[in-house]
Structure 1
Amino acid sequence: MATTPASPSDLHTAANAIRMLAVDAVAKAKSGHQGMPMGMAEIAVALWSKHLRHNPANPHWPNRDRFVVSNGHGSMLPYALLHLSGYDLPMSEIKNFRQLHSMTPGHPEVEITPGIETTTGPLGQGLGNAVGMALGEKLLAKQYGSVIDHHTYVFLGDGCMMEGISHEVSSLAGVLGLNKLIAFYDDNGISIDGEVKGWFRDDTA
């Protein structure tokens, strides 16, 4: 499915809609994390509207681009994107954010929410999953040719980069030449425990 171009004003409006959905859902649930959705809304909207190849009517389209949110505590970002993009995720489920048996659990869970590619929560795990998906694409493309040609996009934050798994899988991705893996690092220098500069000084860029 081709992406649809959008004007800058449309993108800005969509980003603000994501921010407000996140704020309202977290407030209603009285728990959750709205910081990541608010901070990454603009890049998410630009990615989904201009680059990501996906099909809301067929979430399991084999050659879709993969989108992974490694910083899964910011789950209202993918939920808002899925809702606004026309996936089977109605407003009633957005209002049930973080409630038992809802389609919008506190962290994204595969096979519960249409359009969620993998379960994330433990920081850094999603990056590892994304590396695996990108490797899978490369192996399938070698076997089947141009019929397999998709990208894997992953969002991650400071907490993800502070975990050892992120260092290992990033090294592996480089060694294997996974050039269809694209990571967006929300490097804002803050975590749930406060500023990270006192205990995280690696030059991860």
Structure 2
Amino acid sequence: MGMADMAVALWGRHLRHNPANPQWADRDRFVLSNGHGSMLLYALLHLTGYKLPIEELKNFRQLGSKTAGHPEVGHTPGVETTTGPLGQGITNAVGMALAEKLLAAEFNREGHAIVDHHTYVFLGDGCLMEGISHEAVALAGAWKLGKLIALYDDNGISIDGQVAPWFIDDTPRRFEACGWNVIRGVDGHDVDAVDAA
């Protein structure tokens, strides 16, 4: 729930989605790469009107509930992709953003942008420690996926605890080196600052 303020800014002010039609083709995509934080996603889905009643939130991580420990596509309304292994979500998000770019090139015409959505991904330190995330970030930069927006929870911890002894990357510089536009110094607990970024 540590990214809740970022989620409020994104889901309340930017994300285009329709709880009544979760499969709307031109919806924005949201990927929770750090899937062990799934309660945040379930709370967002519940509060924004998806068919996920409070009883399901109370049954979090219980056998048969729609609120598994990690998000599962096809199991919970509004979940775009299954995430579990760290690093998997950013790779899926890159694939979604690439699909948007290719579909837009194929079907959009001047004055008629029928494919025009963004892919947003929440990332944590654990996600970015995985080698596959390095490859996905590099591909996104090389392919100039400008509609892929990553929000990074730079809190110095993963599900296993502090990451300082082994994760010493300068993450903003890594993304910049791969061609990303990086906005630094945003207080992730300031909804207005996240909104402005």
TM-score range, shorter chain: 0.7 to 0.9
Unaligned runs of 5+ in 2: 173-197
The alpha-carbon deviation at position 84 of structure 1 amounts to: 0.4
What percentage of aligned pairs have identical amino acids?
A: 73
TM-score, L = length of structure 2: 0.84
One-letter amino acid of the structure 1 residue matched with residue 107 of structure 2? Y
Equivalent residue number for residue 168 of structure 1: 135
Q: 1:2-54 deviations in whole A, cap 9, x for unaligned?
A: xxxxxxxxxxxxxxxxxxxxxxxxxxxxxxxxxxx1x1111101101110000
Whether 1:182 and 2:145 are equivalent positions in the alignment is: no
Equivalent residue number for residue 158 of structure 1: 125
One-letter amino acid of the structure 1 residue matched with residue 136 of structure 2? V
- Looking at structure 2, the residues matched to 47 and 155 of structure 1 have their Cα atoms a distance apart, in angstroms, of 10
Whether 1:117 and 2:80 are equivalent positions in the alignment is: yes
One-letter amino acid of the structure 1 residue matched with residue 65 of structure 2? S
Residue 139 of structure 1 aligns to a residue whose secondary structure is: helix
| Off by >4 Å, runs of 4+ in structure 1 | none
Q: How does 1:1-205 map to 2 (within 5 A)?
A: 37=1, 39-145=2-108, 146-205=113-172
- Looking at structure 2, the residues matched to 94 and 193 of structure 1 have their Cα atoms a distance apart, in angstroms, of 24
- Looking at structure 2, the residues matched to 73 and 193 of structure 1 have their Cα atoms a distance apart, in angstroms, of 11
Unaligned runs of 5+ in 1: 1-36
- Looking at structure 2, the residues matched to 193 and 150 of structure 1 have their Cα atoms a distance apart, in angstroms, of 34
The alpha-carbon deviation at position 202 of structure 1 amounts to: 1.3
One-letter amino acid of the structure 2 residue matched with residue 120 of structure 1? T
Residue 75 of structure 1 aligns to a residue whose secondary structure is: helix
One-letter amino acid of the structure 1 residue matched with residue 139 of structure 2? L
The alpha-carbon deviation at position 153 of structure 1 amounts to: 0.1
- Looking at structure 2, the residues matched to 100 and 195 of structure 1 have their Cα atoms a distance apart, in angstroms, of 30
The alpha-carbon deviation at position 192 of structure 1 amounts to: 2.9
- Looking at structure 1, the residues matched to 159 and 36 of structure 2 have their Cα atoms a distance apart, in angstroms, of 11
One-letter amino acid of the structure 1 residue matched with residue 39 of structure 2? M
One-letter amino acid of the structure 2 residue matched with residue 173 of structure 1? A
One-letter amino acid of the structure 2 residue matched with residue 90 of structure 1? P
Indicate the structure whose relative CO is greater, using CA pairs within 8 Å and at least 6 residues apart.
Answer: 2
Q: 1:73-120 deviations in whole A, cap 9, x for unaligned?
A: 000001000000010000111111101111111100000000000000
